[in-house]
A and B are shown apart, each in its own frame.
Chain A
Amino acid sequence: MAKILIFVTSGPETDDGQSALSYARHALKHNKLSAVFFYSDAVYVANKLRKPPSDELNFLEGWQSLHKKHGVELIVCSAAAQRRGVLDASEAEYHGISGDSLAEHFRIGGLGEYVELQMYADRVVQF
């Protein structure tokens, strides 16, 4: 079983951003999914204040369930996320901002973590 790292750069409102989740679900059936790393506009999906209308797919919940059911690590690049207003509690405090916005089951990581993860993955797939 190949070990796959998914690297998402497309925003959640794009076709690629949405394909990433479908791909992740399929990858879990046949392969080992080591983690999903969110960079660039993809970090928007980790904003806990997202509230799509109920007749649209909720991608935030989709990703969260991958972590809850399968323990897939969901890592959000800190620099990309800070630019786009996605902060966890400790970062918000560090910057003196009241309130935080990182959704549950995601965590903030550095780009250095991507470098490390790809070393231990057989393949990196970008969306």
Chain B
Amino acid sequence: MHNHKHAIVFTQSPFATDKGKEGLELALTLATYEQPIALFFTGQAPLQLAKNINSDLLQRKNYTQGFNALDLYDIEQVYINAQSLDELQLNQRDLSIAAQVLSTEEFVAKLSHFDVVLQF
């Protein structure tokens, strides 16, 4: 039996596709079963963590609120690509949860510590 360490890598903006919602669903399920897991955000994905998203105006379910429950699920490792954050003109204060911001190089190096990398 293996205790694979999972990295869930988010790459998309929150409502362009359902990827973020389904990636979060998988992450919470893995955490419910106490599997080691970390979340990574790159590309447009840091937008999923932006504060004050009001998707009601889009008539979409605001699944991104689920990221606020990561503590309860004991998901402590959350990493953000600094370059993506810059490109989106966001900084850590704009995010709804505490996350570690890493340079692209550190971000990729960190990913290599995980056994299973799933992209959403």
- CB-CB < 8 A to B1: which residues of A? 119-120
Query: Is B120's CB under 8 angstroms from A9's CB?
Result: yes
Cβ of A124: which chain B residues have Cβ within 8 Å of it? Answer: 4, 116, 118
* A3: nearest chain-B partner, CB-CB: B2
Binds B, one of A18-26, A67-75, A94-102, A109-117: A109-117
A126 at the interface (CB under 8 A from B): yes
The winner among A39, A118, A121, A123 for most chain B CB atoms within 10 A is A118
In the assembled complex, A40 has its CB within 8 A of some CB on chain B: yes
Question: Which residues of chain B are within 8 angstroms of A83 by Cβ–Cβ distance?
Answer: 18
A90 to chain B, nearest CB (A): 22
- Using Cβ atoms and an 8 Å threshold, which residues of chain B touch A115? 29-30, 33, 35
Asked if A80 is at the interface of the complex by the 8 Å CB criterion, the answer is yes
Beyond A7-B118, A9-B120, A40-B19, whether A114 also contacts B2 by CB under 8 A is no
- The answer on a CB contact under 8 Å between B29 and A118 is no
Q: Is B108 positioned at the interface, with any CB of A under 8 Å from its CB?
A: no
CB distance from A77 to the nearest CB of B (A): 9
A118 to B32, CA, bound (A): 15
Residue of A nearest to B19 (CB): A40
**Known A111-B26, A115-B29: A122·B120 in contact at CB below 8 Å:** no
Total of A-B residue pairs, C-beta within 8 Å: 46
Residue numbers in A under 8 Å from B26 (CB-CB): 39, 111, 114
Asked whether, in the complex, the Cβ of A80 is within 8 Å of the Cβ of B22, the reply is: yes
| In the complex, chain A residues whose CB is within 8 Å of the CB of B116 | 118, 123-124
Which of chain B's residues 1-57 have a Cβ closer than 8 Å to chain A? 1-4, 6, 18-19, 22, 25-26, 29-30, 32-33, 35
- Indicate which residue in A79, A112, A119, A126 contacts B4 across the interface (CB closer than 8 Å): A119
In angstroms, Cα B3 to Cα A118, docked, is 9
Contact A118 B2 (CB under 8 A): yes
Which B residues lie within 8 Å of A79 (CB)? 25
Contact with B along A31-56 (1 / 0, CB 8 A): 00000000110000000000000000
